[in-house]
């Protein structure tokens, strides 16, 4: 619980530095994501949020998620249609909140790991530019077996 509290304090500071506000609702949604043992879907978040806020509705969760993504605090995993906290949020890294990131997703147990391999992102960007494409960003999701399942 101390880790979640520390992450929430860092998130509030990050938002404040950017002129954004981590409202109580956004804080609750982010807390639920931080507490989840695995990436969590929007409707699972909504179910948990309804235990805290009776009137919570899907737009409530999606607006909070959009904010958290825009602030670089969470990532959306397209393959899983789920959300996970950014491992670098609040850390002193030189990428800003648009850092290169890739995800390793175990198809057996569902474990997910965020990695930051700038060479992978650079290779994707170079290949896209060679095709005349101007990339705005990319998220790589690699599926396979984790060390425990492999």
Q: Which residue positions form the known binding site for Zn(2+)?
A: 106, 109, 146, 149
Annotated binding residues, written as ranges, equal: 106, 109, 146, 149
81, 26, 68, 48: CA torsion to nearest 10: -20
Structure tokens that stand for 11 in this block: 């998130």
b/e sequence 13-30, b meaning 16+ C-beta within 10 Å: ebbeeeeeebeebbbbbb
């Amino acid at each position: 619980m101390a880790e979640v509290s520390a992450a929430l304090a860092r998130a509030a500071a990050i938002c404040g530095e950017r002129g954004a506000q981590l409202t109580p609702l956004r804080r609750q949604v982010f807390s639920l994501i931080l507490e989840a043992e695995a990436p969590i879907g929007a409707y699972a978040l909504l179910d948990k949020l309804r235990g805290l806020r009776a009137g919570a509705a899907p737009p409530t969760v999606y607006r909070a998620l959009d904010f958290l993504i825009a602030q670089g605090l969470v990532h959306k995993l397209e393959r899983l249609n789920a959300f996970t906290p950014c491992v670098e949020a609040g850390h002193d890294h030189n990428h800003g909140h648009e850092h290169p990131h890739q995800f390793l997703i175990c198809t057996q147990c569902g474990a997910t790991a965020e990695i930051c391999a700038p060479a992978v992102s650079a290779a994707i960007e170079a290949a896209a530019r060679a095709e005349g494409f101007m990339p705005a960003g990319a998220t790589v999701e690699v599926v396979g077996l984790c060390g425990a399942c492999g």
